[in-house]
Structure 1
Amino acid sequence: MAVVIRYVNKHVEVIERFMVVVHVATTTAACLKEAIDSLFTKYGLSVARLRGQGYDGASNMFGEFNGLKSLIMKENPYALYVHCFAHQLQLVVVVVAQANQYVCDFMWIVSSIVNTSASSCKRADKLRQLEHDRKVKLLERGEISSGRGLNQETSLARPGDTRWGSHHSTLCRIEKMWPSVIEVLQNLIDDGDRSSKGLSRTLVERMERYEFVFILLLMKRILANTNHLSTVLQEKDQNIVNAMHLINNVKCKLQKLRDSRWDILLEDVKKFCNTHSIEIINMTDNINSRSRLKRDGKNDDFSWSERMLVEQELETYIDDIISDERFEGILDLGALAKKMIETMKNRVFPLVYRMIELALLLPVATATVEKVFSAMNIVKTDLRNRIGDEWMNDSLVVYIEKDIFNTVGN
């Protein structure tokens, strides 16, 4: 279990730090809670001071009654749980897309294309070679340019419901590698076994239909918006207020796409079909309770008397900030907190500043934790498969927190 802590430092900067990888006997919520309690005790941390906890949506973490977040909130009801925004976004996009039968069928075809084209080393190598040869011809004709980071060797990516941006990446690569994918499937029709011949023929027929191209370019455009949002949500210093603004912005973009009458999209689809000799259909033809979480009035961060005063202080604070030109142009919660420090208004309005600090602490995404797991594959390899827990922890801390250890001299 990778553990990352998030806090606000004295300069009002939101900091996320990888702390440790804890060895656990099982992944049950009780075992994970016990490991966290031991870790907090070892480093002198208090669960009572915890104000936020964030995980992905696995049942042992997210469970309403026996999940890790529930066990912690039984001990400290103010450790607010935030389901990783990036994971939520990916799951929502997948579920909403699958609710449309046309898109659901399309994604099944896409998954079959990837699995069939790259299910063996021989097919994957053939696909890469075809794409390499095609790019060489395009470079010779001057239709594409070369340079650092341009036209790199690539392969089809398998889409996964819980992998950030995987669907968008898959669709982009199918569009980019279209001629090579078609040729690999055609080769299977000619030389494959009985089962692969039938499936490959079906996939080619579906790919060369107008509706497949239409949904491909439509979903690529939709997922481009959500994929950018997912990337931004994974930033370490992202705060929950910014995250909500970003989500609203993406909703507005999607609404504009819906209201744009599809002219640009249809033009792109037409151009793609003409390039790859796909028949363009005539568009004039006929084509057959939520539960609310209830909390009591208690709060460890504000005393009874402070709760009586906070509303009045907030009203005074709003009037004061509106009339102070030093606060003009501030659009971000973190920038607001820093400006309060600079103008010493955090001392004038301590309760308001405390609320801002608490909002900044809430985790937005688990990207830092995911990066730790990726780094483990670099640190603990087959050649170092007997590395002990303590040595692996020390190595991971030094590897992941480079910005700190780069400042440490020999």
Structure 2
Amino acid sequence: MKNIIREEIAGSKYCIVVDEARDESKREQLSIVLRFVDKDGCIQERFFGLVHVSNTTALTLKNAIYSSLAHYNLDVQNIRGQGYDGASNMRGEFHGLQALILKDCKSAYYVHCFAHRLQLALVGAAKNVTPIHQFFDKLTFIVNIVGASCKRNDELKEAHTDDIAHLISINELEKGSGLNQLCTLQRAADTRWSSHFRSVSSLIKMFSASCTVLLKVMEDGLPSQRADATSVYDEMTSFDFVFILHLMREIMEITDVLCQTLQRKSQDILNAMELVSSTKKLLQELRDDKWDDLLEKVKSFCVARNIDVPDFSAQYVDRLGRARRHQGNFTIEHHYRVDLFYATIDSQMQEINVRFNEDAVELLMLSSALNPQNACDSLRYLDICKLVEKFYPQDFTSDEKERLEMQLKHYEHNVVIGPYYKSLSTLSELYQWLVKTKKADIYDLVFRVIVLVLTLPVSTATTERSFSAMNIVKTRLQSKMEDAFLSDALMIFIEREIAKNICIDTIIEDFENFKERRIPFS
């Protein structure tokens, strides 16, 4: 398989996407993925293997990567991008892995994984607004209480079934194949923001059923269980909790599209930047235009479940009974609209702007000049020339750099202004169209720039998928079998080598090499 991947890459430029994780036997494993553009114009991300490393220092990781690439005759000088998470040993400006590789290959530019950036932005935003941070703690507690046992899960499903039947009988739900399926409350994982969206959505769907389970625990449970259930029930049935529950669903429904997209394979970086931009616009629209819709939705939800709705024109009093004054009476509406609705959305937008600051990423800004959607009116050929001159000087000779500007002018008149060009939406589609129409041969220098930009990584999703596979294969039983095999092999190895009168230190060193290479042992 690795030979086939090497043949696919051939002498083309490629990118390395790397991440590390521990396996079941507590050994550090380095996952290596190679990203490149194949001959058909499709972006490929090929898993190239797991390499055991003794530690996660930048130099150790670099040596492991170089050794793996050299074994299959993949030239390090052809690396044109590095994709890692934001750990200091990976992104360090002076001693990080990206800095060490950049010293050897000047065009191997580092791109911080977009999925990790988004995760940091969303988690940071949630912590910035105190009621939102407290809400997610409460949400976790609710899921734990309601799903604490098999009995409660069965009660939850039974109550949910009754709710669905009732809503169908009063024509609140549609009937049909695949509709109204039973589900359960979803737990939120700290490292996956999408799981928070699923957790919030599942609680909204099963709100009444969850309340039914809590009421049963309050009646029949042990004293400690009754106390927890009462506390959770009182919290759940407060207008404050219901409002934040629906607010976070609205926000996360927008950001979840970007979360899911960044986890897909073969995502190009310009398309990812556009998705970030559309996410910002949709959040702004939610802030400007959707307050009344959200409030009406929350009120209807509360009325249907007999939850008290406060008088929004009344003076706001906090939980300690203290009234706040701000340029006159501080109303309840002001609290929910300004302190929660505006503050939460503003925090989300601010974090996304900081983490995805396009002005700070000149490489991405210049690369956007190649996007068909950005070049329908006029081609920013000076930006493309600057991109080549500043970031890819090794890939073009002096003569080619001079010819590039004139080739771009012909490209603008013959391709950009053409009727079919406007129907292209991504850089990958443009690549495939150029290959299909054989214009890639005519505009070879422009085509080369497009390939280099497509090679840039977007996320480390593929490496994380390899860890999921590793956890399936590398089980506790398999690890024990491996340890037993190595123990027996070591005894045979020592007996054979001692017979040759070789010192024990050399035997141990040879055996360690044998373990690392997994050489078949006879």
Give the shorter-chain TM-score range. 0.7 to 0.9
Aligned to 1:223: 252
Amino acid at match of 1:369: T
Distance 1:363 1:192, change over 3 A: farther
The answer to whether the aligner puts 1:318 opposite 2:412 as a matched pair is yes
Partner amino acid for 1:157?
A: R
Kept in 1, the 8 Å contact 2:115–2:259? The answer is: yes
CA deviations over 1:117-157 (Å, ceiling 9, x no partner): 44xxxx23233112211133245544565755852442431
What residue is the counterpart of 2:470 in the other structure? 376
Is this contact kept in 2: 1:273–1:280, CA < 8 A?
yes
Secondary structure of the corresponding residue to residue 165 of structure 1:
helix
- For the structure 1 residues 127 and 301, does the alpha-carbon distance in structure 2 shift closer, same or farther, using more than 3 Å as the test? farther
Aligned residue type for 1:209: S
Letter in 1 for 2:186: L
Per-residue CA distance 1:58-114 (angstroms, 9 max, x = gap): 232223332222221222231111122122112211212221222222223223333
User: Are the equivalent residues in 2 in contact too, given 1:126–1:184 (CA < 8 A)?
Assistant: no
Q: Equivalent of 2:50, from 5, 21, 24?
A: 21
| 8 Å CA contact 2:428, 2:454 repeated in 1 | yes
SS of 1:300 mapped into structure 2: helix
Once residues 315 and 274 of structure 1 are traced to their aligned partners in structure 2, the CA distance between those partners, rounded to angstroms, is 64
Which of the pair has the greater relative contact order for Cα pairs under 8 Å at 6+ separation? 1
Kept in 2, the 8 Å contact 1:22–1:35? The answer is yes
Closer, same or farther: CA 385–307 of 1 in aligned 2, 3 Å: same
Distance 1:201 1:135 in 2: 20
CA deviations 1:337-365 (Å, max 9, x no partner) are 11112222222222211111111111112
**In structure 2, what residue type is equivalent to 1:286?**
Q
Contact 2:58 2:89 in 1 (8 A): yes
CA distance 1:187–1:354, change in 2 (3 Å)? same
Corresponding position of 2:31:
2
SS at match of 2:459: coil
Q: Does 1:182 align with 2:182?
A: no
Judged with a 3 Å threshold, the aligned counterparts in structure 2 of structure 1 residues 32 and 197 are, in CA distance, closer, same or farther, namely farther
On the 8 A contact 1:185/1:201 being kept in 2, the answer is yes
Decide whether aligned partners of structure 1 residues 199 and 138 sit closer, same or farther in structure 2, where only a CA change above 3 A counts.
closer
2:90 corresponds to which of 61, 64, 70: 61
Higher alpha-carbon deviation: 47-56 or 22-31: 22-31
The alpha-carbon distance between structure 1 residues 282 and 225, as it changes in their structure 2 partners (threshold 3 A), is same
Which runs of structure 2 are paired with 1:15-164 in the superposition (5 Å)? Answer: 15-118=44-147, 123-138=148-163, 140-141=165-166, 142=168, 145=175, 147-148=177-178, 151-160=181-190, 162-164=191-193
Q: Any idea what the Cα deviations from partners look like across 1:147-182, whole Å, max 9, x if unmatched? A: 55852442431341x214021111112222223433
Deviates more, 1:107-116 or 1:283-292: 283-292
CA distance in 1, matches of 2:165, 2:204: 21
C-alpha distance in 2, partners of 1:172/1:259? 23
In the TM superposition, residue 21 of structure 1 has moved relative to its aligned partner by: 1.2
Q: 1:182 to 1:335 in 2, by over 3 A?
A: same
- d(CA) in 1 for partners of 2:466, 2:412: 41
1:326 and 1:346 mapped to 2: Cα distance? 15
Counterpart of 1:340?
434
Amino acid paired to 2:131: Y
Structure 1 residues 217 and 318 mapped into 2: Cα distance closer, same or farther (>3 Å)?
same
TM-fit CA distance, 1:282: 1.7
AA matched with 2:154 = Q
For structure 1, list consecutive stretches of 5 or more residues without a partner in the other structure: 390-410
Q: Report what 1:359 is aligned to.
A: 453
Q: Which amino acid aligns with 1:284?
A: S
Give the Å deviation of 1:316: 3.0
Give the equivalent residue in structure 1 for 2:349. Answer: none
Task: State the 1:371 CA deviation.
Answer: 1.3
Question: Does the CA contact (< 8 Å) of 1:168 and 1:220 recur in 2?
Answer: yes
Instruction: Say whether residues 1:276 and 2:305 are aligned partners.
Output: yes
Residue-pair matches, total: 383
Distance change >3 Å, CA 58–CA 147, structure 1 → 2: farther
Contact 2:194-2:259 at 8 Å conserved across structures: yes
Question: Do the aligned residues in 2 keep the contact of 1:159 with 1:170 (CA within 8 Å)?
Answer: no
Instruction: Measure, in 1, the Cα distance between the counterparts of 2:78 and 2:128.
Output: 42
TM-score (norm 2): 0.67
Distance in 1, Cα, partners of 2:179 & 2:466 = 26
Aligned-pair CA distance for 1:50: 0.6
| Residue type of the alignment partner of 1:240 | I
| Structure (1 or 2) with the larger CA radius of gyration | 2
Give the counterpart letter for 1:246 in structure 2: L
Q: Which runs of 5+ in 2 are unaligned?
A: 1-29, 317-323, 325-353, 364-388, 484-522
* Other structure's SS at 1:235 match: coil
Alpha-carbon contact 1:62-1:69 (below 8 Å) kept: yes
Instruction: Single out whichever of 200-209 and 268-277 deviates more from structure 2.
Output: 200-209
Map 1:295-314; keep pairs closer than 5 Å.
297=390, 299-314=393-408
Amino acid at match of 1:105: Q
Contact 2:84–2:113 (8 Å) recurs in 1: yes
Query: Could you tell me the TM-score, scaled by structure 1's length?
Result: 0.84
Alpha-carbon distance in structure 2 between the residues aligned to 1:268 and 1:26: 53
How far does the alpha carbon of each residue in 1:176-203 deviate from its partner, in whole angstroms, 9 at most, with x for none?
A: 2223433555566564565x66555443
Q: Is the 8 A contact 2:164 2:180 kept in 1?
A: no
RMSD: 2.8
Task: Establish whether residue 258 from structure 1 lines up as the match of residue 287 from structure 2.
Answer: yes
The 8 Å contact of residues 139 and 146 in structure 1, kept in 2 or not, is answered as: no
- Distance 1:364-1:388 versus aligned 2 partners, 3 A rule: farther
